Amino acid sequence: MDWLYFTAAETAALLLSIKVALWCTVISLIPGVATGWLLARKDFPGKPLLDSLVHLPLVLPPVVPGYLLLVLLGSQGIIGQWLQQQFGISLAFNWKGAVIASALMAFPLMVRAVRLAIMQIDTRLETAASTLGASKLRVFLSITLPLAAPGILTGLILAFSRSLGEFGATITFVGNIEGETRTLPLAIYTYTQVPGGDAQAMKLVVLSVLLALAALFISDALERRAARHLASSSHD
Partner 1 sequence: MIEFDLDLQRGNFQLHASLSSEASVIGLFGPSGSGKSTLLSLLTGSLQPQHGRIVVDGRCLLDTARGINIPVHQRRIGMVYQEGRLFPHLNVRHNLSYGLQLLKPAQRRFKLDDIVALLELGPLLEQRPRQLSGGEQQRVALGRALLAAPQLLLLDEPMAALDDRLKAQILPFLRRIKDETGVPMLYVSHALHEILALTQHIAVMQAGRLLAHGDAYAVLGMEHVLPLTQSLGLENLLKLQLLPSPQESGCSMALCGQQQVLLPHVEAAAGSEISVVIPASSIALARQRVVGISIQNQLHGTIRAIRTHDQRALLSIDVGAELLVEITEKSRQDMGLQCGDSVYCLFKTQAIRLLGHQRKTESIHAGPAQVSASQ
Q: Which residues sit at the interface with partner 1, rule CB under 8 A?
A: 122, 124-125, 127-136, 138-139, 142-143, 146-147, 229-230, 232-236
Tell me how far CA of residue 207 lies from CA of 6, 22, 87, in angstroms. 11, 18, 37
- The distance of closest approach from Cβ of residue 129 to partner 1 in the complex, given in angstroms and rounded to an integer, is 7
How many angstroms separate the Cα of 139 from the Cα of each of 73, 142, 150?
A: 37, 5, 18
Instruction: Give the Cα separation of 236 and 231 in Å (integer).
Output: 10
With respect to partner 1, which residue has the nearer C-beta, 16 or 121?
Answer: 121
Q: Which is nearer to partner 1, 129 or 159 (CB)?
A: 129
Least gap, CB of 220 to partner 1 (angstroms): 22
In whole angstroms, how close is the CB of 145 to partner 1 at the nearest point?
10
Phi-psi region of 9 (alpha: psi -120 to 50; beta: other; left: phi over 0): alpha
User: What is the C-alpha separation between 91 and 166, in angstroms, rounded?
Assistant: 17
Q: 143, 129 in Cβ contact below 8 A?
A: yes
Distance CA 17, CA 185 (A): 9
CB of residue 226 vs partner 1: minimum separation in angstroms?
A: 11
Nearer to partner 1, 7 or 135 (CB): 135
- Identify which of residues 97 and 150 has a Cβ nearer to partner 1 in the complex: 150
User: Which of 18/145 has CB closer to partner 1?
Assistant: 145
Of 42 and 235, CB closest to partner 1: 235
